[in-house]
Structure formats: C-alpha cells, structure tokens
Copies of this chain bind each other. A is one copy, B any other.
C-alpha cells in the first residue's frame, strides 16, 4: 500500500465536555510526528465549517496554546449540533476535502454525530477518494456503545460527586427537620451522570447522602418517590436527592418537559420534585440545577479523564496513519485488579444510533441506589486532579488564535 500523504482536519461536534479539547491536543501533537500529514487544520463549528470551508491552521498555534487545550473547557474550535442530511451537503464536504487535500479526518463527537463521520467515509469510498475517517468519542452522558467509557464522563462525575458531597455537608448541618435537597443533573436518556452523584457516599456508608438517586432507566412514579422521601426523612433528619433530568414514567414519557422556542427540552425535574415534596409531605425543599456547569468544570477535571481524552486523540492519528478508516477509537479497560486502560478500534457503524444505558444489574432493588458494580466501574474514572493555572484568582484558560485557511471554493448555497 502506497503511503497516503496529505492534510488532516479535526472537527468537534455536539455539546462540549470538560476535556473535549484535550482530544484536539492529542490529535495535533501526534499529527506533527508523522511526515505523511502535511497541514493540520481545524474545522470551525464542526459540520458548519465543513460546509463553509471554514478552517483554521492548528499547526500555526503556539505550543503553549495546544498544551493549554488539555485543561480548557468548551470546544476550542467551536462545535455545532447541526447534522448533515442532504446528499448535496455530503457532496459539498467531499468537494471541500478534495480542494484542501484532506486525507485524514478526525471527528470528535457522540454516538449521534458519528453518523456524519460514517457517511463522509462512505461517500469518499464511493467516489474513490482516498480518505481516512476516524471518530473520537466524547460524551458527558457516557452513552456511546463500543467503548468502556467516554472521555468527558469522568470529569463530569468528579464535579457532580464533589458538589453532591459538599451540598450534603451543608444540608446535614442545617439542623432543620424535613429539609429535602434536590440536585438536578443532566442525562436525557441515561442515568450515568445521576449515578455519579452516588460517588459522594463514603465506602461502606450506604446511608450517606445522596440518599436517593433517580435514574431515567427506572420508571418514576409519584407514589414511590414520596414513599422514598418519607422513609429517608424518618431515618435521617434530611434527604439529599440526585435526579437525572430525563426521568420517565412507566409509559416512557418524560416526567418534566420544558417547551422551548425551538424544541421540547427535558428539564425541570428538580422543581417538579420540590412541588411534590412541599405539597404532599409539607417538607421544605430546595433545588440546585447544575446545568452546563457539570460539563465544563475544568477547575475540577479528572486527570484520568483528561489523559484518556488526549490518548484517544493520539490513537486516532496513529490508526489513520496505519491505514484504518471508518473506525471509532474506543477505550478498553484491562482485566486486572488495578485499573488500566488502552485504546481500541470499533466500526463506526457499531455506534451510530445506539445508546449505552446503565446496566440494570448495577441498580439496587430499591431503584434509588447503585451497587458495588457501579462504584467499581466509576471510581477509577475520577482519579487524579488536573492542575489548572490561576490568574487573578480564577482558572486561566487558552483561546486559539484561529489563523484562517484561505478558501478556494465558491460559497456553499444551502
């Protein structure tokens, strides 16, 4: 096989994670090791940049900036929730790739967005355009199949776990009977993030807060909920609840939905619970909704997570240079007693359209707590702290200089 020589391109897609930029840093650092990769470009705002030929020259960024990406939240290249759908959009992307001699494309995204990578790969093959497409996983919600876990998840549950622990100390000290503290976390379809709240419990202290964890995988009923809270308030003097935003009833309908301008959006489950508790139990409840904070709290990132996010970026480049295409880099956990993790590859088609739910056998029979299997799984992912530089009392993050690559094609007419 003749060596493929050309330029590489990186795109970020979907909601950012605390460590999504560490994967960009991994790709850039590794790309510079391979002479077959000539230019290293980034696409601005993911697929939007692909369509509009909006590329920046990542090799022109300072080394400090690339190193700083390892601890900077948000998507440094910009991201987008847009999906390519029309055939002419994919045609356009291929035309753009050809115009810039893009031969290596790295797509950082969740299960849903890897479909774009798969389709680009497919079209390139159909057109006999030699292109290596490698997906890089990221998902704060940890719902990509094929990989043991997703970069972004460990940092999110480290922040959630610490916050639940701190809020529980606060609640416990209030000395107020019947105080219910509700912490609403993300998770439209899965309970991975809510489950992470239970890391706040001390080992062998099952009655530690959070006392109740509500997962989208376990159908929600008002009666069971009120019984649960009643039971905890009787046993403890207060009750700490972690609730995934995507709770559903036994028919699969969201318990709390906000109707936005653009689209129906889950959320508000904390307020929903507060109303129930106050109206039905006469207890006082207070709600915190961590919102986007949980996917960008780089001041408390997991070092394991940040290192693995960098690693999957490096591995993507190595795979592409070695002739792989149409693959997703995965994280593969070792079998040993001590946690180890290396990268693997999976077909992109394995992940598209699939969601990995929390295994039901990890949830205790009470439906509101996790057993040792979850702790064994999740504990290694939150280990270690990323050291962030501080400037004027706040974490200091980098911004890329984003030197534009000249456009060569006429503007795309949607």
Taking Cβ atoms with an 8 Å cutoff, the residues of A that contact B are: 12, 15-16, 44-46, 48, 72-81, 158, 161-163, 165-176, 181, 183, 199-200, 203, 258, 260-262, 265, 267-268, 271, 274, 278-279, 281-293, 295-300, 302, 379, 382-385, 390, 392-395, 397
Contact A162 B299 (CB under 8 A): yes
For residue A268, which residue of chain B has the nearest CB? B271
Tell me the dominant secondary structure on chain A's binding face.
Answer: mixed
Complex Cα–Cα for A379 and B291 (A): 26
Contact B284 A262 (CB under 8 A): yes
Complex Cα–Cα for A370 and B163 (A): 29
| Set of chain B residues within 8 Å of A285, measured between Cβ atoms | 260
Contact A161 B261 (CB under 8 A): no
Contact A170 B289 (CB under 8 A): no
Tell me whether A292 and B288 are in contact in the complex, defined as CB-CB below 8 angstroms, given that A74-B172, A260-B278 are known contacts: yes
Number of copies of this protein chain within its complex: 2
For residue A80, which residue of chain B has the nearest CB? B175
Contact A289 B289 (CB under 8 A): yes
Question: Which among A72, A174, A379 has the greatest number of chain B C-beta atoms within 10 A?
Answer: A174
Question: Which among A46, A183, A282, A299 has the greatest number of chain B C-beta atoms within 10 A?
Answer: A299
Residue in B172, B379, B392, B397 whose beta carbon sits within 8 Å of that of A392 in the complex: B379
Contact B382 A200 (CB under 8 A): no
Taking the nearest CB of chain B, how far is it from the CB of A390, in angstroms? Answer: 6
| Set of chain B residues within 8 Å of A302, measured between Cβ atoms | 393
Contact B296 A170 (CB under 8 A): yes
Taking the nearest CB of chain B, how far is it from the CB of A163, in angstroms? Answer: 5
Contact B397 A16 (CB under 8 A): no
| Set of chain B residues within 8 Å of A173, measured between Cβ atoms | 12, 16, 74-79
Contact A291 B289 (CB under 8 A): yes
Contact A393 B397 (CB under 8 A): no
| Set of chain B residues within 8 Å of A158, measured between Cβ atoms | 393-394
| Set of chain B residues within 8 Å of A265, measured between Cβ atoms | 286
Question: Which among A258, A281, A292, A395 has the greatest number of chain B C-beta atoms within 10 A?
Answer: A292
Residue in B171, B291, B385, B397 whose beta carbon sits within 8 Å of that of A288 in the complex: B291
Selected A-B contacts with CB under 8 Å, 27 pairs: A12-B173, A16-B173, A16-B174, A45-B175, A74-B170, A80-B174, A80-B176, A81-B174, A161-B393, A162-B299, A163-B293, A166-B293, A166-B297, A170-B296, A199-B394, A258-B274, A260-B278, A260-B285, A261-B282, A288-B289, A288-B290, A288-B292, A289-B291, A299-B299, A379-B393, A382-B393, A385-B390
| Set of chain B residues within 8 Å of A81, measured between Cβ atoms | 174, 176
Contact B290 A293 (CB under 8 A): yes
